[in-house]
């Protein structure tokens, strides 16, 4: 097997900058030796060149090479309804999201949506995603097929609900279990795919549905779990009324046995201290979705409280409540919101890169991705802005790779994503 030597300015965060000083590793003229999709060696280009004089070189100088982004909360059926601005969560669901989600009953339509969606992810440099799937098993199958074809690392599953949405989107505990089991058997750990048990949120899920989810988790160790929590104050009130015996929103999932190391809960904008303590003890991740929180007016994410409690935090685009697939934009919006809120956490470029890469890999328990460590998969995004653009000007004049990284978060877009690799294979090459 021939090895390829990638020559680039690269940055990555193999350690957590919230707990480790100097977590940002940068190499201005760096080399990554990749063989069979796996990073075999990393260092200064000159050193790797001397050690591997015959390896063909892919020259990526002039841009930035980063680990592929890991989006830990994004909705498959919502790519075509991005932009429903100005409505609070429950109105936005009724008016924007759910009518489109009902169209996913048509598998041909769902396949077209899956292609648009995967194009959006790869075009933004996302190589791994925890995807909120569809309420229809046929649409989930179509998405797994399209993701396999594209090489995407997809963690997804059937979304299940049995109340308060629209009739077409409702199922029963028995059907949720049977369809989930069949999908797990077809797709979990097949190629790069993993299954995620996915009740939509407690507002739309009876105890019976949550128990069916728990049965799937028990019978298939290793499947992931995802749902929503504490996003909107009205939503929280309704959940409280629907589960009078629960201590809080988290307890609705906790009592069913759904909270653990493989659980990722989106939003958590309004948590109690008890909820944070339980999430930390279980190593359950909060997926922070700052553009969605802004667009739907959900509130300011209490990052400081999550960090103080020890809850892992990752990043999600939450398309289509969010405004697009770019985790650069999510990083910037997180930075803005922490700057603006009392007691916010000042976020450096290292924090933003970590949240967009390694934190997501950890949330999904995927040690093989998220950074550029030898032994990890070569999942990478090459940012190469067009000549004459402001980002190109910054890249050419930046005093350090860290300054260039800050500019990528401040002003980078999917238009700056030139190439994407997953497991060493090209997943996107812009003409």
Ligand X SMILES: O=c1[nH]c(=O)c2nc[nH]c2[nH]1
Checking DSSP bridges between strand 159-160 and strand 153-157, what pairing results, if any?
Answer: unpaired
* Rounded CA separation 296/68 (Å): 27
Residue 228, interface with ligand X (CB under 6 A)? yes
Tokens of 72: 């830990």
Residues 6 or more apart whose Cβ sits within 8 Å of residue 63: 8, 9, 382, 383, 384, 385, 395, 418
Residue nearest to ligand X (CB): 321
Q: Which of residues 52-81 bind ligand X (CB under 6 A)?
A: 75
Considering the rule CB under 6 A, would residue 288 count as an interface residue with ligand X?
Answer: no
Compute how many residues bind ligand X; rule: CB under 6 A: 11
User: Which residue number, 303 or 428, has a Cβ lying nearer to ligand X?
Assistant: 303
Residue nearest to Zn ion according to CB distances in the complex: 318
Q: Is 292 in the site for ligand X (CB under 6 A)?
A: yes
Which lies closer to ligand X via its Cβ, residue 259 or residue 427?
259
CA dist 405 to 24, 62, 234, 344, 348, Å?
11, 13, 38, 21, 10
3-class secondary structure, 366: coil
Which helix (H) or strand (E) segment is 278 a member of? helix 273-282
Q: Which stretch binds Zn ion (CB under 5 A): 190-198, 206-214, 256-264, 314-322?
A: 314-322
SS3 143: helix
Instruction: With residue 180 as reference, give the H or E element that holds it.
Output: helix 173-187
State the DSSP code for 93. I
In the complex, least distance from residue 296 CB atom to Zn ion, rounded to whole angstroms: 10
Which residues have a Cβ under 8 Å from the Cβ of 207 and sit 6 or more positions away? 243, 256
**Contact status: 318 vs Zn ion (CB under 5 A):** yes
To ligand X, the closest distance from the beta carbon of 247 in angstroms equals: 20
Per-residue interface string for the shown chain with ligand X, residues 302-331, x marking contact by CB under 6 A: ----------------x--x----------
Residue 146 within binding range of ligand X, rule CB under 6 A: no
Which part of the chain contacts ligand X (CB under 6 A), choosing from 43-51, 89-97, 357-365, 421-429?
A: 89-97
Q: Does position 169 bind ligand X by CB under 6 A?
A: no
**CB of 33: closest distance to Zn ion in angstroms?**
39
Is there binding between residue 201 and ligand X (CB under 6 A)? Answer: yes
Instruction: Give, rounded to a whole angstrom, the gap between the first and last alpha carbons of the chain.
Output: 28
Helices (H), 25-161: 45-51, 89-92, 98-103, 107-123, 137-150
* Residue 214 touches which member of Zn ion, ligand X, none, C-beta under 5-8 Å by kind: none
CA–CA distance from 375 to each of 41, 347, 357, 425 (Å)?
Answer: 8, 29, 17, 16
Stretch that binds Zn ion, among 168-176, 272-280, 316-324, 378-386 (CB under 5 A): 316-324
Part in contact with Zn ion (CB under 5 A); list of ranges 158-166, 178-186, 265-273, 293-301: 265-273
Question: Least distance (Å) from ligand X to the CB of residue 228?
Answer: 4
Task: Enumerate binding residues for Zn ion (CB under 5 A).
Answer: 266, 318
Query: In the complex, which residues of this chain contact ligand X (CB under 6 A)?
Result: 75, 89, 93, 97, 200-201, 228, 231, 292, 318, 321
């Amino acid at each position: 097997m021939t090895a390829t030597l990638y020559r680039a300015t690269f940055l990555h965060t193999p350690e957590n900058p919230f707990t480790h000083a100097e977590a940002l590793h940068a190499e201005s003229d760096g080399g990554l030796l990749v063989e069979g999709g796996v990073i075999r060696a990393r260092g200064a280009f000159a050193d790797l060149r001397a050690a591997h004089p015959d390896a063909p070189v892919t020259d990526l100088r002039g841009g930035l090479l980063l680990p592929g982004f890991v989006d830990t909360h994004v909705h498959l059926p919502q790519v075509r309804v991005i932009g429903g601005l100005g409505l609070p969560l429950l109105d936005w669901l009724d008016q924007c999201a759910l009518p489109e989600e009902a169209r996913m009953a048509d598998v041909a339509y769902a396949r077209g949506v899956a292609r648009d969606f995967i194009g959006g992810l790869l075009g933004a440099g996302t190589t791994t995603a925890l995807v909120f799937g569809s309420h229809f098993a046929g649409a989930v199958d179509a998405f797994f097929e399209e993701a396999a074809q594209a090489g995407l690392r997809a963690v997804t599953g059937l979304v299940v609900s049995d109340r308060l949405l629209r009739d077409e989107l409702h199922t029963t505990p028995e059907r949720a279990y049977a369809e989930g089991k069949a999908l797990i058997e077809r797709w979990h750990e097949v190629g790069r795919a993993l299954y995620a048990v996915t009740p939509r949120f407690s507002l739309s899920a009876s105890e019976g549905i949550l128990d069916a989810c728990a049965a799937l988790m028990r019978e298939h160790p290793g499947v992931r779990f995802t749902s929503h929590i504490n996003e909107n104050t009205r939503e929280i009130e309704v959940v409280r009324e629907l589960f009078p015996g629960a201590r809080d929103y988290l307890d609705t999932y906790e009592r069913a046995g759904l909270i653990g190391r493989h659980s990722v809960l989106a939003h958590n904008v309004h948590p109690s201290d008890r909820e944070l303590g339980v999430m930390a003890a279980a190593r359950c991740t909060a997926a922070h979705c700052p553009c969605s929180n802004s667009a739907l007016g959900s509130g300011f994410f209490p990052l400081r409280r999550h960090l103080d409690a020890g809850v892992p935090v990752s990043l999600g685009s939450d398309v289509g409540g969010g405004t697009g697939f770019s985790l650069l934009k999510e990083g910037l919006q997180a930075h803005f919101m922490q700057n603006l809120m009392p007691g916010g956490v000042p976020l450096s470029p290292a924090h933003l890169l970590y949240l967009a890469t390694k934190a997501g890999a950890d949330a999904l328990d995927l040690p093989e991705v998220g950074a550029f460590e030898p032994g990890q998969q070569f999942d990478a995004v090459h940012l190469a802005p067009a000549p004459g653009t402001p980002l190109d000007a910054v890249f050419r004049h930046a005093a350090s790779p860290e300054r260039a990284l800050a500019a990528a978060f401040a002003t980078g877009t999917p238009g700056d994503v030139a190439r994407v690799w997953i497991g060493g294979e090209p997943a996107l090459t812009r003409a």
